[in-house]
Structure 1
Amino acid sequence: MAKSSADDEELRRACEAAIEGTKQKIVLSIRVAKSRGIWGKSGKLGRNHMAKPRVLALSIKTKGPRTKAFLRVLKYSTGGVLEAAKLYKLKHLSKVEVITNDPSGCTFTLGFDNLRSQSVAPPQWTMRNIDDRNRLLLCILNMCKDILGRLPKVVGIDVVEMALWAKENTPAVTTTQRTLQDEPVETAVTGSDMKVSVEKELVAQDEEEDMEALLGTYVMGIGEAEAFSERLKRELLALEAANVHAILESEPLIDEVLQGLEVATNCADDMDEWLSIFNVKLRHMREDIESIETRNNKLEMQSVNNKTLIEELDKLLERLQVPSEHAASLTGGSFDEAHMLQNVEACEWLTGALRGLEVPNLDPVYANMRAVKEKRAELEKLKATFVKRASEFLRNYFASLVDFMISDKSYFSQRGQLKRPDHADLRYKCRTYARLLQHLKSLDKNCLGPLRKAYCSSLNLLLRREAREFANELRAGTKASRNPTGWLEGSTGSSQSGNSADTSAVSEAYAKMLTIFIPLLVDESSFFAHFMCFEVPALVPPGGGANGNKSGSNNDNGSDDDLGIMDIDDNDSKAVKNSVDLVALNESLRDLLDGIQEDFYAVVDWAYKIDPLRCISMHGITERYLSGQKADAAGFVRLLLGDLESRISLQFNHFVDEACHQIERNERNVRQTGVIPYIPRFATLATRMEQYIQGQSRDLVDQAYTKFVSIMFVTLERIAQTDPKYSDIFLLENYAAFQNSLYDLANVVPMLAKFYHQASEAYEQACTHHISMIIYMQFERLFQFARKIEDLMYTITPEEIPFQLGVSKMDLRKTLKASLAGVDKSIAAMYKKLQKNLVSEELLPSLWDKCKKEFLEKYDSFAQLVAKIYPSETFPSVAEMRELLASM
C-alpha cells in the first residue's frame, strides 16, 4: 500500500511553518482535494467545481488547563508555498457526512454550526483512499470526544465499521503513545510516526459485547446470502402485516375524526363568507370616510388661502398708496432749508416704495399685475419730476452762492492786505443739501453729472479769482532786489556776484502761496468728492489738513466741514474704492481746479526774474508738498505740484544753460593767461546754491554742477590748445585755482568732491608735462646721451657699449663737460624759465620743489647708468647735485 501523506514529515514541517507564531501544534496533516458538488445527481462536473489541492491540518493549542482543537485548511501559493487559508474550531463541528454519490466513499463534508451562510453548500473533501479518509475522521472524532466531551453527528458511515477498521489498524500505532486519560492531548497525538490516531475506543466494552452477541445471531445466515436474504424478507412482510392490522383496527376512530373535520370545514366556510361580506361593507365605509375628509381638507385649505390672500392684498394696497404729504413735497414743495427735512423724508419714502415694487422685494406673481405696473409708472413719474425740480434748484443755488461771494470784494486779497480764502460759510450752506444729493443719486445716478459740472464751473470761478488776487498782492507786497542772471559773465566782476542781495523773501512768498492754497485745494477736492457722492476713500483724515500745513483761523472750521460731509451717510466710511468713480472724480476735479495753475506759474516766473537761484529753494518746497499728497482722489493737486516742479526745473535749467553759454564765450579770446574769471565765480555760485538747497533739491543742484564743471573743463582744454607753448602753465594755474576755491565745499558736497579730484589729476598731469619740458630744455644733451645707452643695451652687452660710435668714453666726457660745466647756471635758468610765464606766483614754490625732485630722479638714473657702463669715469654724484639744488 502506498505511503499516506499523513506520514510525510516535510508536509508537517511546511504546515508548522505556515502557522508559525500562532502557538499551535500540528497533530495531523494530510493532502485532500477540495470541490463543491463534484458528485452531483448527474454525476458530471459542474461549472467552477474543479477539484483543488488542499491540505487539512488538525492542531491544538494549550492555554493553562484548557485545550482548544482546530481544523486548518491550507492552500498552495503561486510559488508552491503552503499558506493558511481558513480556520475552523472543532467545538463548532456538528456533522460529518460521507457523500453517498461517490462510489469510492472517499468524499465527505464537515458541517459547522457557526457558519454565516448556511445556504451555500459546504466544501467537499476527497481523500486518496478509504484508509486516509478513516484515518482523518477517526482523529477528528477522537479529538472531539477527548477534548470537547461530545461527538458530532455521523452520516453515511457505520460507526461499527469505523471501530472495526480502527482495531485492524491499531498495531500500526506506535507503542510510545498513551491514552488521553494518562497524558495531555498534545503528548497523546503528536507522534510523527503515528499511523492512525486511535487513543480511545469509539464504543464502550459493554456496548461492544452486545453488538457481538447481536452479530452472532446472524453468523449462520451471513454465510448463506440467499437464505439470509429470504429471512429478512419474511421478517419485513410480517412487520408490514402487523402494521396494516393495526391500522384496520383504528378505522372507527379515523371515521369519527374525519366527520369532525368535515363539520369544522363547513363552519370555516360559513365564517369566510361572513368575513367577505363584512370586508365589502368596511371597504365602502372607508371610501366614504376618505371622501368626507378630502372635502373637509379642501374647505379648510380654501379658508386659509382666502385669509392669506386678504392679508397679502392689504399689504400690497399699503405699498401702492402714496401719502398725500409726500406727494405734495415731491411735486411742488419748496427747497428752502426749513422744508428740507420734509423733502428728505419724501425721498426716503419714494426710494423705499420703488425698491419695494422690484422683483426681489416683491413676489414675482405681483410684478405683472396691472395695478402694480400703473403704480410703478406713477412713482417713476414722481421721481422724474422731483429729480428735475431738485437739479434745477441746485444748479441755480450753486451759481447764486458763488456770484454772491465774487460780488463781495471783502472775500479777496486787497492792496496791502493778503486775505486767506475762507469757504467755511460756503460749505455750511452746501451741507444743507448733502443728504438731498445722496437721495438724488439713489433715485437717478445720471442726474449727478450735470450737477457736478454746474458746481465745478461755479466754484472754479471763485477759486481762480481768489488765487489771482492773492498772487498779485503777494508779488506786490514782496520787496526784494533783483539779482543778475549772468553769474558767470566775463563782464561782471566777481565782487558783484559775492555781494548779491538777500532774496529769501521771494521763496518765502512762493512757500506762502503753497501753504495757503494747496491745503485749500485738497480740502476742496475732499469736500467735493463726498458732497457729490463719489465712492472713494476719505482724502483728509478728520481734524487735519494736507501735509500738516493747514493753519490759521480757518483750521477748525475746515475740519468741521470735512467731518460733516463724512457723517452724511454712516456707510460712507465703509465704501470700497471704485475705479470708475475715481476716474470720474479726477475728471470733475480737473473742471473744478483747472486754470488756477496759471497764478502759481506767474509766481514762479516772478521769482525767477528776481533771483534765478531761488528756483532751488522753490523746487525743495514743491517736492516736500508733493511727497505729502498721496490720496488718489487728490490727483489734480498732485498734477499741479508736478507741473510746478517741472516749470521750476525748466526755469533753473534755462539759467544753467545761459551760464554755460557765458562760459563758452571765454573760448573766443585767442590769448588767455592766468586764471579765467568764471572759476572763482563758479565757487561763489556754488556756495550760494548750497545755501538755497532745501529738502530733496540735491539732485537738481548736482545736475547743475555736472553741467557747469563739464563745460568749464572742456572750455579750459580748448583755450589751452590755442597756444600749445603756454598750455601747460594755463591749465595748471586754472586747475589749481579750481581746487583752491572749492576746497571747503568739496569736503561736504560729494559731487563737488568728485570734480575736485578730477581737477587734481589734471593739475598733476599739467605740472609733470611742464616740468619735464623745462628740464629737457636745459639738459637735453645729457639725457639724450643716456637714452642712446639705454637703446644699445637692448642689443649688445654693457662691456661693448663704450666701443660704439657716439657713446665712447670721449663722447661721454664731452657730454658731461657741455652739460655739467656751470650746472648751477643751468639750474638757475630752469628756475627763471619756470617763473617767467607763471601768473600765479603762489604756485611757484610748489612747482620748483616738483622740478628739483623730477630733475634729481632723472639725474639719479643717469648716474647709475654711467657707473655701470663707464666705471672708471668720474662725474658729480647725486648727493653733490642734491646739495647744489638745496642751496639754490
Structure 2
Amino acid sequence: MAKSSADDQELRRACESAIEGTKQKVIMSIRVAKSRGVWGKSGKLGRQMAKPRVLAISTKIYKLKHLSKVEVNSNDPSGCTFTLGFDNLRNQTVAPPQWTMRNTDDRNRLLLCILNVCKDMLGRLPKVVGIDVVEMALWAKENTTTTTTTNQVNSEDGPVPTTMAEKDMKVNVEKDLVSQAEEEDMEALLGTYVMGIGEAEAFSERLKRELQALEAANVHAILETEPLVEQVLRGLDNALNCVDDMDEWLGIFNVKLRHMREDIESIESRNNKLEMQSVNNKSLIEELDKLLERLRVPSEYATCLTGGSFDESNMIKNIEACEWLSGALRGLEVPNLDTTFANMRAIREKKAEVEKLKSTFVRRASEFLRNYFASLVDFMISDKSYFSQRGQLNRPDHADLRYKCRTYARLLQHLKSLDKNCLGPLRKAYCSSLNLLLRREAREFANELRASTKASRNPTVWLDASAGAGQTVSNADTSAVSDAYAKMLKIFVPLLVDESSFFAHFMCFEVPALNPPGGVPNGKNSVELAALNECLQELLDGIQEDFYAVVDWAYKIDPLRCISMHGITERYLSGQKADAAGFVRLLLGDLESRISMQFSRFVDEACHQIERNERNVRQMGVLSYIPRFATLATRMEQYIQGQSRDLVDQAYTKFVSIMFVTLEKIAQTDPKYADVFLLENYAAFQNSLYELANVVPTLAKFYHQASEAYEQACTRHISMIIYYIPFQLGLSKMDLRKVLKASLSGVDKSIQAMSKKLQKNLTSEELLPSLWDKCKKEFLDKYESFAQLVAKVYPTENIPSVSEMRDLLASL
C-alpha cells in the first residue's frame, strides 16, 4: 500500500498548531480535494473546480451526533469522492461540499475512522451510500497491524474512545464494523457461492436448472387449482347475467327519468314566465306610479299660475310655481321621458294642460310687468321735485327704481325659460317707459345747467378786416361753458352706461360683456348683441338732443370752446368699451361729430372773413388778420385737451393756407409795391408766431414757409432798388469814362437816394435796418462783380475800389 498523507507527522503537527488553544486534539489529518462541481458525461470529475485542502478530524469540528449520511459519489469511477451530510445545516438548498481522496486506501482509512468514532460514541452508524460495508470490513481486516493503542479524548459530548495506530496508523480489528457472529455467517454464505474462475459456466448451468425447476413447480401448482378456476368462471357468468338485467332496468329508468326531466323543465319554464311577469307587473306599477306623480298638478301651484297675485309678498310662491312648471315641462319631453310614454294619450293630454298653464301664466305675468314699468315711471315723472328746478341741479338717482325692478328679475328669467318670445314686448315696454324718464331728466338738467352758467359771449368775428386793425379781440373767460358741458357728461354718461348694463342683465340678454372673462363670442352672442343694441336705441333715443343743445349753446358763447368740448368727449369715448353700453358710444361719437361740425363752421366763417380782405382795392402795410391769427392761435392752444390736437392742426392748416393765398392775391393788385407788401406781411407773420412755432409743429412748418417767402420778396425788392443806379456795358474807354463820371461822381447821393426809396415804400419801420443791411450787402456784391469785369476789360482804367465803396456805405 502506498504511503498515505495520513501518516505525515509534519501535516498532523501543522494541523494541531492551527487549532492550538481550542482544547481540541487532531485524530487524523489527510490531504483531500474540495469541490462543488458535478461529474460530466465522461464520468470524470471537473478538476478545474476542485481545490486542494487538508481534512482533519478532531474532537471538536462537527458534532458527530448530527452526521446522518456518508455518500460516495457514484459519478466518480475511482470511488474517491464522497460527501458528509449533517442534519443541522442551516441552508438545505446548498449542496454539501465534496471531498476527493488521493486513492481508495485514503478514502477507506478516513471513512473507517469516522464510522468507528460514531459507533463508539453514539452506538449507531450513519447511513452509508455508495460503498459496501462488507467490502470495507474486508479492507480493514487486510490492513490490520499488530498493536493498537486506545487513547481517551475528551469532547463536548463526553469521553470518546479513539483507536489509533502508534506508528503506521493501521486499523484495529478489535472494534470492527461487524460483529464476530455476523462475520461467520458472511463467511459461510460466501463459502457456499465463492468459486474459482473456471467454475463460472457450471454455476450458470446450475442457476438455469434451478430456474426451470421453479417454473415447473409453478405450472403444476396452477393445474392443481382448475376446480377453483371453474368455480370462479361460474360466478362470473352469474355476475354477467345480473349485469345484463341491471342494464335493462337502468334503460327503463333512464326513459322515465328523461320524461320526468322534460316535465320538470316545462314546469320550470312556466314558473319562470310567471315570475318574470310578476316582476314586470311590479315594475310597471312602480313606473305608472312615478308617471302619475309626474302628471299630477299640485293644486297650490295651479291656483298660483292661473290667478295668483304678483305682489312682492307673493313672489316667492310665484317663483316656486315657475320652477315646478319648468320642471314639469322638461319632464314631459322625450330626453327626460321614455319614448314609449310620449305617445300615450294621458301624456298628450297632460302636456296640453301644462302648456295651457304656461301660456296663461306668461300672459298674466307679461301684462303685469308692462303695467308695473309704466306705473313706476309715471310715479317718478309726477314728482316735480325729483327733477332739476330753477336754481337747483338735481342729480338723477335710479337706485329705488332698480331696487323695485330687481324684485321681478327672477320672474323674468323664468319667463325667458318658459317662453323666450314674451321678452320682446316686455323689453319694448320697459324701454318706452324708461325713455320718457331719461329724456325728461336730461332736458330739465340741461335747461337748468345753461341757465345757471354765467359767461360773457365772445364775438365770432376774429379775422374780419372790418373790425379794425387796432381793435383787440375780447379775452373774456368762457371756461364755465366747457365746464358745464363736462358736468353734463359727468352726470349722464355713467348714468346711461349703468342703465344700459342694468337693462342687459335685467332683461336676460346673453352678450359677451356679461359672460365670464375669456368667453369666446359665438353666433348666438352676436344675435343677442344686435338685439340688445336695438333695444338700447329705443331706451335712449332722443336724449342726444339735449346734449346737442348744450353744444350749440356753448358754441354761440365761444366757438373756440369746441376745442375743449372735443377733448372732453374723446376722453369719455376712449373709456367706453363695454358692449352693453353700445348706444352710449354712439351718443359720444355723435357729440364728437357735432362739435367738429360746429368748429368747422367757425373755421369756415373765419376763412371767409380772411378772403374778404381781397376785395379791398388798395392795401398797404400789415394786414389785420396776421396779428389777429396769432391771438387766435394762442387762445386755441389754451383750449386743447386730450387728443384735440388734430382738430386744431387742421384748423391751422386751413387758416394759414387761405391767409397766404389771399396775401399773394392782394399783392398782385399793385405789382410796383408787391414785394414790399409781401415782405412786410411775411415778416409780421413770423414775428407774431415765433413763440408758438417753437412748440407747435404745424405752425413751425408754416413759419418756415413764411420765412422762405420773405427772403424771396426781399431779394426781388433789393435788386430793384440797386438797379435804380444805371450801368451800361459794351462801351469804349471814352464812353466808360463818361458813364463813370456821371454815375460815380455823386455816388454818395445816389446811395442816399436808394435808402430813401427803400424807406419810402416801407410801412414797418422795424424792418428798415435789416432791409438796408441786405441792400448794402447786395450792392457791394454787384459792385465787386462790376469792378472785376472793368479790370478784365479795361485794365488801364482806374475806378473806386471795393473797399472804398464799402467804407462809403458804412459812413452813410
TM-score range (shorter-chain normalised) is 0.5 to 0.7
Counterpart of 1:512? Answer: 487
Residue 824 (structure 1) shift: 1.6
Match of 1:620 among 567, 571, 583: 567
Counterpart of 2:435? Answer: 460
Q: Is residue 763 of structure 1 aligned with residue 721 of structure 2?
A: no
Residue 706 (structure 1) shift: 0.7
Match of 2:379 among 389, 404, 414: 404
Structure-to-structure mapping, 1:417-566, within 5 angstroms? 417-493=392-468, 497-538=472-513
Counterpart of 2:613? Answer: 666
Structure-to-structure mapping, 1:298-317, within 5 angstroms? 298-317=273-292
Distance 1:580 1:571 in 2: 19
Stretches of structure 2 lacking an aligned partner (at least 5 in a row): 1-232
Residue 593 (structure 1) shift: 0.7
Counterpart of 1:746? Answer: 693
Structure-to-structure mapping, 1:133-532, within 5 angstroms? 284=259, 287-493=262-468, 497-532=472-507
The residue type equivalent to 2:494 in the other structure is P
Cα pair 2:463 2:629 within 8 Å, conserved: yes
Distance 1:302 1:450 in 2: 55
Structure-to-structure mapping, 1:682-721, within 5 angstroms? 682-721=629-668
Q: Is residue 676 of structure 1 aligned with residue 641 of structure 2?
A: no
- Tell me which moved more, 877-886 or 749-758: 877-886
Counterpart of 1:871? Answer: 795
Residue 573 (structure 1) shift: 10
Cα pair 2:459 2:474 within 8 Å, conserved: no
Distance 2:282 2:707 in 1: 107
Counterpart of 2:553? Answer: 606
Number of matched pairs? 580
Secondary structure in structure 2 of the residue aligned to 1:578? helix
Distance 2:464 2:561 in 1: 19
Distance 1:766 1:855 in 2: 16
Distance 2:264 2:723 in 1: 145
* TM-score normalised by the chain length of structure 2: 0.68
The residue type equivalent to 2:290 in the other structure is K
Distance 1:471 1:687 in 2: 30
Distance 1:590 1:313 in 2: 53
Cα pair 1:480 1:505 within 8 Å, conserved: yes
Match of 2:754 among 813, 816, 830: 830
Distance 2:246 2:736 in 1: 170
Distance 1:815 1:304 in 2: 147
Residue 870 (structure 1) shift: 3.3
Secondary structure in structure 1 of the residue aligned to 2:300? helix
Secondary structure in structure 2 of the residue aligned to 1:535? coil
Secondary structure in structure 2 of the residue aligned to 1:773? helix
The residue type equivalent to 2:671 in the other structure is P
Residue 598 (structure 1) shift: 0.8
Distance 1:574 1:302 in 2: 55
Cα pair 2:512 2:525 within 8 Å, conserved: no
1:448-476 deviations in Å (ceiling 9; x for gaps)? 11111111111111111111111111111
1:571-592 deviations in Å (ceiling 9; x for gaps)? 9999977111111111111111
Residue 671 (structure 1) shift: 0.7
Distance 1:279 1:811 in 2: 173
Residue 425 (structure 1) shift: 0.9
Distance 2:541 2:337 in 1: 47
Distance 1:573 1:430 in 2: 28
Residue 497 (structure 1) shift: 4.1
Distance 2:554 2:636 in 1: 15
1:749-784 deviations in Å (ceiling 9; x for gaps)? 111111111100110110011111111121443xxx
1:357-392 deviations in Å (ceiling 9; x for gaps)? 001111111111111111110011111111111111
RMSD value, Cα:
2.9
- In structure 2, relative to structure 1, the CA distance for the partners of 1:482 and 1:446 (3 Å cut) is same
Distance 1:814 1:500 in 2: 66
Match of 1:880 among 781, 804, 807: 804
1:472-509 deviations in Å (ceiling 9; x for gaps)? 11111111111101111112246654442111111111
- In structure 2, relative to structure 1, the CA distance for the partners of 1:867 and 1:317 (3 Å cut) is same
Residue 280 (structure 1) shift: 6.1
Match of 2:683 among 723, 736, 747: 736
Residue 651 (structure 1) shift: 0.7
1:24-63 deviations in Å (ceiling 9; x for gaps)? xxxxxxxxxxxxxxxxxxxxxxxxxxxxxxxxxxxxxxxx
Residue 309 (structure 1) shift: 1.2
Secondary structure in structure 2 of the residue aligned to 1:612? coil
The residue type equivalent to 2:795 in the other structure is P
Secondary structure in structure 1 of the residue aligned to 2:467? coil
Cα pair 1:405 1:411 within 8 Å, conserved: yes
Match of 1:857 among 757, 765, 781: 781
Distance 1:394 1:284 in 2: 82
Distance 2:602 2:589 in 1: 20
Distance 2:785 2:243 in 1: 157
Distance 1:390 1:779 in 2: 106
Match of 2:724 among 777, 792, 800: 777
Cα pair 1:497 1:684 within 8 Å, conserved: no
Distance 2:733 2:633 in 1: 62
Cα pair 1:526 1:538 within 8 Å, conserved: no
- In structure 2, relative to structure 1, the CA distance for the partners of 1:607 and 1:273 (3 Å cut) is same
The residue type equivalent to 2:398 in the other structure is H
Distance 2:774 2:372 in 1: 87
- In structure 2, relative to structure 1, the CA distance for the partners of 1:620 and 1:571 (3 Å cut) is closer
The residue type equivalent to 1:372 in the other structure is I
Secondary structure in structure 2 of the residue aligned to 1:838? coil
Cα pair 2:513 2:579 within 8 Å, conserved: no
- In structure 2, relative to structure 1, the CA distance for the partners of 1:821 and 1:367 (3 Å cut) is same
Residue 734 (structure 1) shift: 0.3
Match of 2:587 among 640, 660, 685: 640
- In structure 2, relative to structure 1, the CA distance for the partners of 1:827 and 1:369 (3 Å cut) is same
Residue 267 (structure 1) shift: 12
Counterpart of 1:630? Answer: 577
- In structure 2, relative to structure 1, the CA distance for the partners of 1:610 and 1:764 (3 Å cut) is same
1:493-544 deviations in Å (ceiling 9; x for gaps)? 46654442111111111111111111111111111111111112457xxxxx
Please identify the structure whose Cα radius of gyration is greater: 2
Distance 2:354 2:261 in 1: 58
Counterpart of 2:87? Answer: none
Distance 1:496 1:465 in 2: 45
The residue type equivalent to 2:676 in the other structure is I
Distance 2:519 2:798 in 1: 103
Residue 292 (structure 1) shift: 3.9
- In structure 2, relative to structure 1, the CA distance for the partners of 1:742 and 1:572 (3 Å cut) is closer
Residue 868 (structure 1) shift: 3.1
The residue type equivalent to 1:750 in the other structure is P
